[in-house]
Amino acid sequence: MRRSTTESPALQIVLIAIALLFLAFFLALPLVAVFGEALKAGFGPFLNAVTAPDALSAIKLTLLIAAISVPLNVVFGVAASWAITKFQFPGKSLLISLIDLPFSVSPVVSGLIFVLLFGANGWFGPWLAEHDLKIIFAVPGIVLATVFITFPFVARELIPLMMEQGKDEEEAAISLGASGWQTFRHVTLPNIRWGLLYGVLLCNARAMGEFGAVSVVSGHIRGETNTMPLHVEILYNEYDFVGAFAVASLLAGLALVTLIAKTVLEWRFNLHGSARH
Amino acid sequence: MIRVQNVTKTFGDFAALHGIDLEIKPGEFVALLGPSGSGKTTLLRIIAGLEFQDGGEVLFDGEDVSSRSVGERQVGFVFQQYALFKHMTVAENVAFGLSVRRKGRPPKADIRARAEELLRLVQLDGLGKRYPGQLSGGQRQRVALARALAIEPRLLLLDEPFGALDAKVRKDLRRWLRGLHETMGLTSIFVTHDQEEALELADRVVVMDHGRIEQVGTPEQVYMEPASPFVSNFVGETNQLPGGIHVRPHDIELVASGGIPVVVENVFRRGGSWRVEGRIEGHGNVVEFDVDAAEPAPTLGDTVRIQPLREREFHKHAL
Amino acid sequence: MTASPAAGTRRRWRQPSVLPGLGLTFGLSLGWLTLIVLIPLATIFLKSAGMGWDQFVAVGLSDRALAAYRLSFGTAAAAGLVNAVFGLLVAWVLVRYTFPGQRIIGAIVDLPFALPTAVAGIALTALYSPNGWVGRFLDPLGIKVAFTPIGITVALVFIGLPFVVRSVEPVLADLGKDVEEAAATLGATRLQTFRRVIFPAIAPALLTGFALAFARGVGEYGSVIFISGNMPGRTEIAPLLIVTQLEQYNYDGATAIATVMMLVSFAILLALNVVQAAGRHRYGA
C-alpha cells in the first residue's frame, strides 16, 4: 500500500519521464549542439579558430571586463546587503526593488541608456569629446554596461542569506568590543562565504557572456571593442560557423564550469546547514 | 469497535512499535499517553491509514482495514498543527470532505447547511467567511475538529490536539471537548504526552513507552495501581524509596518516631500546603511530600521522619 | 574604525542600532545605485518627455513598432505559459521524487542562467533551421521553427524555464505534508488534493515565476536575434527594432520604442503584483 501523500509509482515514472524529456530537448540539446558544431570539421579548425588574433583579443577583453566588473559589484553587493539586512530604515523596500531593476530592463535598453548619456550626441557627449575621453564605442562603455547588467547578482544572493542569519552574532561581537570592520571580517564574512562565492560565480558568468547591452555600446570594432560574445556574432554573420561555434564553445565550457561549481557549492552549503534560495 | 492485533512497525533500523494489541469499545474516549518516541503517534497514524504497519492487523468492527486507504476508512483526523487549508474560508474548510465526495455528494445547499450546523456545534457560527489566518489558535483547532466531523466519521482521531495552545485556552478546550464527546458519543482516540490531560479526559488510558504498551486502564487504575515503575513515574508524581518502593507525595505522612529519616532541603508554599523536598538519610534519594499549611513548616536542615500510607513495590527494577 | 560618528547625526530619522557601518554602507549603496541605476533610467524618461508627442508617436507607435510589440509580448507570454506548465512539472519532480541523476538534472535547470545568450542563440538556430539537427525532421512535415515566431518562442522557453522552476521549488518544498494528509483523511483523491489544496498554495509562486520569465522574455536579445529572422512586421522583436534605430542614429526613435516597452512591461508586472498582494491580503496571512 502506498502512502496517502504520493502518486502511484506508474504515474511518478511518467511524470519524471516527461520532465526529463522536456529538459533534454529544450535545455541539454542546445548545449550539445554547440560542441557538436564546433568540432564538426575536426579539432584542427577548432584550434585555429580559437587562437586567431581577433579571437585572442576578444578573449583578453572579456577577461578584462570580468576582472573589473565583478570586484566592483562584489563590494557594492556586500555593502548593500549589509545595509539592508542589519538595519531598519525607511525606504528599505524601495532600495531592494531598485537593486532588482537591471534584471527587468532589456539589455538593449540598458545599452541605449549609456549611448544616450555618453554617446557622441548624448548628454555628456560634448564634454567627453572636449576632454578626449571615449566611453561609447570604447572599452569604458563596455565596462559600464556590464557593471549595470551584473550589478544585482551578488546582492540578490547575499540578502536572503544574511536576512536568514540575522544579526545576533554581529551584535554579540560588538558587545564584546569588536570594531565594525573586525566584526565583518571575522563574523559576517565566514558566514556568508558560500553565498558570496555563488554570487561571484553568477556575476562572472553574466559579465563574460553579456551580449545585448555590450552589442549596443561597443561599436563592434574587431580587435578593439569585441568581446567574446560579440565575436561569436561577427563570425556567425560572416558564415564562419565553425569559427563562431568554436569561440562559443569556450563560453559554453565556462557555463559548464559555473554549473558544476554551483552544484558543489550547494552541496557544501547544505552540509553547513544553511538554507538555499 | 476497533481492534489492533499484534501490530509492528519499523522505520529503517528504528523499531517504532513492537506487537501492539489493543481493543477500543464503541463510544469510548481513549488516550494514548507516553513520552516522545513512545510510538503513540505512529500507532494513531496506523489506525488512521496514514502509515501502514509492517505486521499485524487493524480491524474496524471485525473487518480488516489494513488494505484500505485512509480516505476509505472514514476516520476523522485532527492534526497537531491543525492543517487547515489556508486559502479556503472556514466554511469551505469544513465543507471540504463533503465537496470532494464522488459518490453520493450532497447538493451544494445541503453542504452549506451542514457546514453551518457544524460551525454552530463548535461555537464558531458567524465566522464561516473568515480565513484561517484571521483566527486564533483555539478557533483554528475547533475548525479542524468541525472539518473532521463533517464527514460523519465512525472514528475520531486527534494528534496532540492542544499541544500548540496557551495553558488557559488548553484547559477551556479540554473541558469543551469532553462535553462534545458526551453529547456525540463518537469513538475517539487521542494522543498526548500530558498525563494530566489524559487523566482528565479519557475513559481509558493506554500508557506507552518505547513502542510497547505498559498499561491499559481507567485513569483511576493507572494512577492508583501503576503496573510498572515507568507508569508509576510517568503518571503523577512519584517518590522512589529504597527497595523499589514507589509512593505518591500525598500518601506520605510525618510521624514522630519510626519511619524513614529525611533531611529537609527545601520548603515552599504550594496551594494549601507546604511542599517539602528532602533527601533520605543514608541513601540520598530525593523525596517530595506535602504538609498541611495549617501546621508550621519544617525547618531547613532538620531531620524529619516520614511514613508511606500507600505504596507499590516493584522488584524487577530496583534502584 | 567604525563609521558611528557620521551615522550618529542621522539618528533622528532611523532607529538607533547597535551595529556600526550603516552610514558607510548605506551611503555607498545609495551612491552606487544612483550612479548605476537611477541616472540611466531617468535618462530614458527625460528624453522621451523632451521629444514632443508627434515625434514619439511617429516611431514609437508606428505600424512596424506595433508589430514588434505584439511579437515580443506575445511570444514572451506564450513561452511563459509553456514554462509555467513544464516548470511546475520539473519543480514537482525534483522536489517530490527521488531518482538517479537528480542532482545533475537540478544543475541543468540553471543552464540558461549560466550560458551566454549569443551562444544559446546560435545553438538554437543550428538546431531548428531547415537543415538543422531537429529542423531537418520538421521541415518535411511543413513545420517551420527557425525564422518564425515559433522559433522565437522556443528560444524564450529556453531562457525562461529556470525562473519558474526556482520560484516554485522552495514553496513546494516547504509545503507541509499534513495539509495533504488532511485532504486524504477527508476522502479527496490525489488529483482533487492537487487541484484544491496544493495548487492554490503554490499559485502565487507560479505567478511570480511566470512574471519573471515574461519580463525577461520581452527584453531578450541575444538568444532570439539569430533564430528569429528579423523580418520587419513579421519576425522583428522590439529590442532589435531599437538597435536598428540606433544604427540609423535615430536616437529619438530608439528611445520612444524603449519607453513604450518599459511602460507596458511595468504595467503588466504591476498588475501581476497587485493580484498577488490582493491574494495575500485576503487570506489574512
What was the ipTM of the complex prediction?
A: 0.85
Nearest CA in chain C to A106: C219
Residue range B12-63, pLDDT digits in tens: 888 899 989 999 999 999 999 999 889 999 999 999 999 999 999 999 998 9
Band (pLDDT 50/70/90 cuts) for residue C1 is very low
| Distance set, CA B212 to CA A55, B16, B194 (Å) | 75, 9, 18
* Pairing assessment for the beta strands B245-247 and B273-280 based on DSSP bridges: unpaired
CA-CA-CA-CA dihedral for B199, B201, B206, B207, to nearest 10:
-40
Best to test chain A binding among B11, B46, B52 (most A CBs inside 10 Å):
B52
Q: CB neighbours (10 Å) of residue C53? A: 8
Instruction: Say yes or no for a CB contact (<8 Å) between C282 and B131.
Output: yes
Band (pLDDT 50/70/90 cuts) for residue C11 is very low
Q: How far apart are CA B164 and CA B82, in angstroms?
A: 9
The pLDDT value recorded for residue B157 is 95
The pLDDT value recorded for residue A275 is 39
Across chain C, what does the average pLDDT equal?
83
The pLDDT value recorded for residue A193 is 86
Residue range C46-92, pLDDT digits in tens: 777 777 777 778 778 888 888 898 999 999 999 999 999 999 999 99
Residue C22 has pLDDT above 80, yes or no: no
Band (pLDDT 50/70/90 cuts) for residue C168 is very high
Contact C17, A86 (CB under 8 A): yes
Residue C30 has pLDDT above 80, yes or no: no
C-alpha cell at C144: 517551420
> Which residues of chain B lie closer than 8 angstroms to C178, CB-CB?
79-81, 83
β-partners of residue B155 are: B75
Contact A61, A139 (CB under 8 A): yes
Q: Hey, is B56 helix, strand or coil?
A: strand
Low pLDDT (below 50) residues in chain A: 272-277
Query: Any idea how long chain C is?
Result: 285
Q: Phi first, then psi: what are they for A147, rounded to 5°?
A: -60, -45
> Which residues of chain B lie closer than 8 angstroms to A1, CB-CB?
52, 66-67, 69
- The whole-angstrom distance between C204's CA and the closest CA on chain A is 16
Band (pLDDT 50/70/90 cuts) for residue C263 is confident
- C-alpha angle with apex B118: B114 to B123, nearest 5 degrees? 145
> Which residues of chain C lie closer than 8 angstroms to B84, CB-CB?
179, 182
The pLDDT value recorded for residue B139 is 92
Helices A228-237 and A53-86 pack at an angle, to 10 degrees, of: 140
Sign of CA dihedral C124, C126, C131, C137: negative
Contact B79, B157 (CB under 8 A): no
Instruction: Say yes or no for a CB contact (<8 Å) between B71 and C181.
Output: no
Pick from A6, C178, C190: nearest CA to B41: C178
Band (pLDDT 50/70/90 cuts) for residue C40 is low
C-alpha cell at C213: 520569465
> Which residues of chain A lie closer than 8 angstroms to C116, CB-CB?
205, 208-211, 228-229, 248, 251, 255
Pick from B170, B238, B166, B195: nearest CA to B31: B195
- The position carrying cell 541543468 is C108
Residue range B75-100, pLDDT digits in tens: 999 999 899 998 899 999 999 999 98
Q: Hey, is B155 helix, strand or coil?
A: strand
Pick from C60, C112, C93: nearest CA to C254: C60
Q: CB neighbours (10 Å) of residue B265? A: 13
Pick from B71, B64, B81: nearest CA to B50: B71
**Three-state secondary structure string covering chain A:** CCCCCCCCHHHHHHHHHHHHHHHHHHHHHHHHHHHHHHCCCCHHHHHHHHHCHHHHHHHHHHHHHHHHHHHHHHHHHHHHHHHHHHCCCCCHHHHHHHHHHHHHCCHHHHHHHHHHHHCCCCCCHHHHHHCCCCCCCCHHHHHHHHHHHHHHHHHHHHHHHHHHHCCHHHHHHHHCCCCHHHHHHHHHHHHHHHHHHHHHHHHHHHHHHCCHHHHHHHCCCCCCCCCHHHHHHHHHHCCCHHHHHHHHHHHHHHHHHHHHHHHHHHHHHHHCCCCCC
Q: How far apart are CA A270 and CA A263, in angstroms?
A: 11
What mean pLDDT comes out for the span B281-291? 87
Q: How far apart are CA A24 and CA C108, in angstroms?
A: 9
Across chain B, what does the average pLDDT equal?
89
Residue range B126-177, pLDDT digits in tens: 999 999 999 998 999 999 999 999 999 999 999 998 888 888 888 888 888 8
Task: Could you list the beta-strand ranges (E) of B83-146.
Answer: none
